[in-house]
Amino acid sequence: MKLAYQGYDSNGKVVNDTIDAPSAAEATVSLRERGLFVTSIDAEAGERKEAVRAGGKRSGKRSGSGIKGLTLFTRQLQVMITTGTPIVQALSALQRQTSNAGWRDTIACLSSRVEEGVSLSEAMKDHPERFDAIYCNLVAAGETSGKLPVMLERLAALKRKQLQTRNTIVGALVYPSLLMVVAVSVLSLMLTLVLPRFGGLFETLDLPLPPTTQGLMFLSEFLTSYWWIIILLGVGIGFGLNYWLKTEHGKQAMFTAMLRLPLVGKVTRSFSTARIARLLGVLMDSHLPLLDVLDLIREGTVNVHYSRLIDEAKEVVTRGEPISTAFIRSDLIVPSVSEAIRSGEATGKVASSLLVMSDMIDEENEVLIKSLTGVLEPMILLVMGVLVGFMALSIFLPLFDLTAMSAGGPQ
């Protein structure tokens, strides 16, 4: 069973934790062998704390990480700690005012762990689905240096920027996605509802059909008769593609295509560069070791090409060379960022240079996304108009021939 205990270690530090033991007596003996002097031990409290931890983890897995919730949590915690509120009281206040059940359970688990004497960063590591390695290490750096409010402010700015970037991309894709849905719906309705009616008319009139009309009629008959095959085929392709993209070969192919496509490649490079530059700036400004910084960025990088670039940068730094050497010779990083790193290395202000450059690239990315959607929207409308016009012409062309035959008949 779980037993909560309080005691002192060999340095006189208060220790609050739980231990799994058959009885309180055996737990006391085990703790004494570890060099701990136990002052109190409670089975019921241990079970309650373990339930809180498990509940927080389970709720976190159900509700996901939620960058919006994490941004709000970080900003609120930073404000409270800046005003001098103790961490436990700040977490309790956030727990009371949080409406999301998943976040409320997670915060309760954090509060329970901190009450036991565990540091906030260690408590956050129990919830990797919410707090990634970069987040936990920055909090740990703030606790070690006594500048936790400053680190939380940086984290809040970082998460706010990530949320803004995501909203920019999602907002830009809403209208083109809506156009695509409308286009597919209109074409599907014409093929499954309109064309079959004209097919019966053409059979009644016994008209010779042009090749385009015959092709559309065949497609319409296939869709109305074998629609279930198309659905099963679509579902199978979707599952197969999802499985393939999770493999190393699939990831390699997907990210390679993203980098090589004319417009998508430019957007991918620009956004990836801005993210790496911002993370490098924030982590280096927090005075973390450079190799640890690169490890953290590597852990949070999804694109395999950029992961390899970070590995190359680690090798360069290990050899004692400046990190700019790896970035300058790569076409994955925007040249302005590589030059900013090299200039920062010469002046000793790499972190500030990277943060300024990341802000500039983010501004350029917003303009780039608007330009891309400005080109994409009329292209979708044009393709939709051509397809609908082609179908309409193919439908009415036999009727035009019938009219011409009637007009040219005997008087």
Say what the pLDDT of residue 2 is. Answer: 66
Which are the contacts of 321, defined by CB distance < 8 A and separation ≥ 6?
none
Residue of higher predicted confidence among 407 and 97:
97
At residue 409, does pLDDT exceed 70?
Answer: no
Say what the pLDDT of residue 408 is. Answer: 53
Residue of higher predicted confidence among 46 and 381:
381
**Beta-strand relationship, 37-42 and 14-20:** unpaired
Which are the contacts of 244, defined by CB distance < 8 A and separation ≥ 6?
250
- Among 2-16, 28-42, 148-162, 213-227, the minimum mean pLDDT is found in 2-16
- Nearest CA-CA partner of 71 in 14, 153, 173, 193: 153
Q: Tell whether pTM > 0.85.
A: no
- Residue-wise pLDDT tens digits, 166-206: 888 888 888 888 888 888 888 888 888 888 887 777 777 77
Q: What is the sign of the dihedral through the CA atoms of 316, 292, 166 and 343? A: negative
Buried-state track 227-236, b at ≥16 Cβ within 10 A, e below 16: eeeeeeeeee
410 pLDDT tier (thresholds 50, 70, 90): very low
* Average pLDDT along the chain: 82
Given a contact cutoff of 8 angstroms between Cβ atoms, the answer to whether 160 and 278 are in contact is: no
- Residue-wise pLDDT tens digits, 25-62: 777 777 777 777 676 676 544 444 554 455 544 444 43
Q: Which residue has the tokens 């206040």?
A: 93
Given a contact cutoff of 8 angstroms between Cβ atoms, the answer to whether 277 and 354 are in contact is: yes
Residue of higher predicted confidence among 359 and 400:
359
What pairs with residue 40 in β-bridges?
6
d(CA 277, CA 353): 9
Alpha-carbon dihedral of residues 115, 117, 119, 120, nearest 10 degrees? 0
Decide: helix, strand or coil at residue 322.
Answer: coil
Given a contact cutoff of 8 angstroms between Cβ atoms, the answer to whether 323 and 313 are in contact is: yes
At residue 77, does pLDDT exceed 50?
Answer: yes
d(CA 301, CA 132): 12
Residue of higher predicted confidence among 12 and 31:
31
d(CA 288, CA 86): 25
- Among 31-40, 72-81, 124-133, 239-248, the minimum mean pLDDT is found in 31-40
Q: Could you tell me the two tokens for 186? A: 């209109």
d(CA 91, CA 148): 14
Given a contact cutoff of 8 angstroms between Cβ atoms, the answer to whether 81 and 87 are in contact is: yes
Q: Could you tell me the two tokens for 188? A: 């599907």
65 pLDDT tier (thresholds 50, 70, 90): very low
203-212 average pLDDT score:
77
Say what the pLDDT of residue 237 is. Answer: 93
Rounded to a whole number of angstroms, the CA Rg of the chain reads 31
Amino acid identity at 224 = T
Neighbours of 351 (CB within 10 A): 18
Decide: helix, strand or coil at residue 118.
Answer: coil
